[in-house]
A and B are shown apart, each in its own frame.
Chain A
Amino acid sequence: EPEVTQTPSHQVTQMGQEVILRCVPISNHLYFYWYRQILGQKVEFLVSFYNNEISEKSEIFDDQFSVERPDGSNFTLKIRSTKLEDSAMYFCASGATGAPNEKLFFGSGTQLSVL
């Protein structure tokens, strides 16, 4: 089965620093997503992205977050000034068409620790 690849698998940063989490979605997919899971909590939707624009975003996705598709293969999540509460596992996902009933493919996640 095709895979979504996320790097790095673990990221440690100091509070206030900027981090960029990277994802390589499945090659012919058009819709991209970020979700996060704070330790012991539910997986939460952050943002969806299509055609180089944010399609939807949650309340969590405030001005410190941004997403970008800098080239034809990568999809990134930038956190501008990290806070302790940003510590979480961040999952990237992709979908072929963006149809609401399609299966999403998830990456293995980046564990972000903000100290």
Chain B
Amino acid sequence: KQEVTQIPAALSVPEGENLVLNCSFTDSAIYNLQWFRQDPGKGLTSLLLIQSSQREQTSGRLNASLDKSSGRSTLYIAASQPGDSATYLCAVSSARQLTFGSGTQLTVLP
């Protein structure tokens, strides 16, 4: 059974810092990995999707990497801003189901 773990569970940084969020998964037989943003009590906003054949994807200040063989992904956020404060979830796709991690709660302090 696929298990997804995210470290750290919470992270607090000053504005302007670059930061890395980590995601690991136990079964490397995945189709893709997706990073989501979730604001408190709100829905899931898709940030980046990396196919299993890809190594990374970039969107603006976000860069996600995937090392499928080692079961790891990172989300790099450059020049963090207070508006980036949210919970970041990673999810892996296997057999038409997404398995989610428990998220990293990010706080960017002004």
Contact = CB atoms under 8 A, between A and B. Distances in A.
A10 B99 CA distance: 25
Interface residues of A, number: 25
A43 B98 CA distance: 9
Q: Which one of B43, B51, B91, B98 has the greatest number of beta carbons of chain A within 10 Å?
A: B43
A31 to B, nearest CB: 7
A74 B97 CA distance: 21
Given A43-B91, A103-B34, A103-B49, A91 B43 contact: yes
A18 to B, nearest CB: 24
Contacts of A28: none
Given A101-B32, A109-B42, A48 B100 contact: no
A104 interface: yes
B41 A100 contact: no
Nearest to B100: A43
20 contacts: A31-B96, A42-B100, A42-B101, A43-B91, A48-B96, A56-B97, A58-B97, A89-B41, A91-B44, A98-B96, A100-B93, A100-B95, A101-B51, A103-B46, A105-B46, A106-B43, A106-B44, A106-B46, A108-B43, A109-B44
